[in-house]
Amino acid sequence: MAVRLLSHELSDLCLGKPALRSLSVTSTIAEALEVLKTSDDNFVSVWSCDHKAKTSSGFQSAAGFCDNYDDDDCRCVGKVCMVDVICYLCKDENLVSPSVALKEPVSVLLPKIPGLVLHVEPSCSLLKAIDLILEGAQNLVVPIKTKLSNKRKQHQKPSPTVTVHKGREFCWLTQEDVIRFLLSSIGLFSPVPAFSIDTLGIISSEILTIEYHSPASAAIGAISRTLVDQTSVAVVDSEGCLIGEISPFTLACCDETVAAAVKTLSSGDLMAYIDCGGPPEDLVRVVSSRLKERNLNGMLEHFSMSMSCGGFSSSSSDEESMAASPLPRSGRYSRSMSYSARMVRRAEAIVCHPKSSLVAVMIQAISHRVNYVWVIEDDCSLVGIVTFSDMLKVFREHLETIA
């Protein structure tokens, strides 16, 4: 069984994975927003395709067919999500005129960190994939083996956001995909999965925190960092007890107007604002009022328009109708009718105890679709965090002994 596990290629993990939705690196942030608001995935891939002047003979765009060129001509150079847009709009100059900021190319959102997204072949081994992830890769871009037939290509109109290159579509694999795959063979690692995370020494004390009453704007840099680290910002009280979190996974389910809340609310109020129940009426009024006080008229207009599109009006004459109709959700559900197809995160933190077993923490993280679990003591004092990366290190060491 162990030999069989080691013989797996990435193509085995790609079965059933959807084709990537994508954007050209020259697309605008506004165009990226459109794709994100209609996507089932929190991220959209960004592609750079350089085929010079030969677009008419095979290449349409980063989202079209690309049949006559080397793979190096068309590469996924990164990924963006709603959190990138929110942090970008939180910059003072962009708050003044968000409509102008959204016209910038999506490339300005890409982190300047090499190796976050890597191309690999379907024949790449599971061990190699784990090594790449432990070296810093977040997404492994893999060609989907099934080729599109010529007949299908003739009759199928290319999706405006699906990349097809040399008759092949692409998917990507994440840390979660690998952890899920290993969980399906968890018995092979016995007795390690039953050990506590404390015993295994995988609780990291390198965490980012912010005090409950502190301005949420003070956490913008931390939010950007946790997006790269695939972790979260812990919200704590004055004694260091965990109250909640400001998570990129939760923010990714919101829309871009949350930037206004980040700049005007406290960390505690922001948690309430981005909770999956939708922004409370009183906090919407606070955000609008503070934007007006700070003369951030561009963002105020953008924010008000978003609220009114969801049926919210700040005029006193509409107070009765507001009581009868709930406010629009800050989550993605407000942007789509496919309620059951998507998962919106609450601002409530997912926690475990230092004595929790490795397999229990794995299941916790997977079931809540996060890459980490906070570790707390019985009195809720924050001990640290356990991430998928920490877990993969344990499994990689064990695989070394059976390789």
Output helix, strand, coil percentages for the chain, rounded to the nearest 5: 45, 20, 35
What is the rounded average pLDDT of the residues 267-294?
A: 92
60 pLDDT tier (thresholds 50, 70, 90): very low
Is residue 264 within 8 Å of 252, Cβ to Cβ? Answer: no
pLDDT value, residue 49 = 82
Q: Is the pLDDT of residue 360 over 90?
A: yes
The CA distance from 278 to 256, in Å, is: 14
Could you give the count of Cα atoms lying within 13 Å of 238 in the half-sphere of its Cβ? Answer: 1
Tokens at residue 175, please? 């840390």
**Which range, of 108-112, 166-170, 294-298, 330-334, averages the lowest pLDDT?**
330-334
What is the rounded average pLDDT of the residues 92-113? 95
Q: Which residue has the higher pLDDT, 26 or 166?
A: 26
* Region 33-38 average pLDDT: 93
Could you tell me which residue, 51 or 348, shows the higher pLDDT? 348
pLDDT greater than 60 at residue 30: yes
In sign, the C-alpha dihedral spanning 72, 74, 76, 77 is: positive
Q: Is the pLDDT of residue 151 over 60?
A: no
Domains of the chain: 1-51+73-147+160-174 (3.10.580.10)
Q: How far apart are CA 261 and CA 257, in angstroms?
A: 7
Rounded distance between C-alpha atoms, residue 170 and residue 76, angstroms: 10
Residue ranges of E strands in 50-177:
65-66, 74-81, 117-119, 139-143, 164-165, 168-173
- Rounded to an integer, what distance in angstroms lies between the CA atom of residue 382 and that of residue 374? 8
Please report the pLDDT score of residue 320 as a whole number: 40
Query: What was the pLDDT predicted at 256?
Result: 95
H or E segment and range at residue 83: helix 82-89
**151 vs 256, higher pLDDT:** 256
Q: What's the pLDDT score for residue 62?
A: 34
Pairing mode, strands 74-81 and 22-24:
unpaired
pTM passes above 0.85: no
Q: What's the confidence (pLDDT) of residue 348?
A: 78
Looking at residue 308, its pLDDT comes to: 76
Q: Report yes or no: 278 and 327 within 8 Å, Cβ to Cβ.
A: yes
pLDDT band of 159, cuts 50, 70, 90? low
Residue with the bigger pLDDT between 193 and 5: it is 193
Instruction: Using the predicted structure, report yes or no on whether residue 10 has a pLDDT greater than 80.
Output: yes
pLDDT at residue 160 tops 70: no
Which pLDDT value is given to residue 164? 64
Q: How large a percentage of the chain has pLDDT more than 90? A: 67
pLDDT of residue 118: 96
Query: Picking from 25-39, 150-164, 214-228, 356-370, which range would have the lowest pLDDT averaged per residue?
Result: 150-164
What end-to-end distance do the CA atoms of the chain give, in Å?
Answer: 12
Of the candidates 48, 23, 20, 47, which has an alpha carbon nearest to the alpha carbon of residue 33?
A: 23
Nearest-angstrom CA–CA distance, 380 and 33:
38
- Give the C-alpha separation, 153 to 166, whole Å: 11
pLDDT at residue number 317: 39
pLDDT tens-digit map of 122-141: 999 999 999 999 999 999 99
The per-residue b/e assignment along 280-308, b for 16 or more CB within 10 angstroms, e otherwise, is eeebbebbbebbeeeebebbbebbbebbe
Average pLDDT, the chain: 83
pLDDT value of position 339: 27
User: pLDDT digits over 255-268, tens only?
Assistant: 999 999 999 999 99
**DSSP string of 286-323, one letter each residue:** HHHHHHHHTT-HHHHHHHHHHHHHTT---SGGGHHHHH
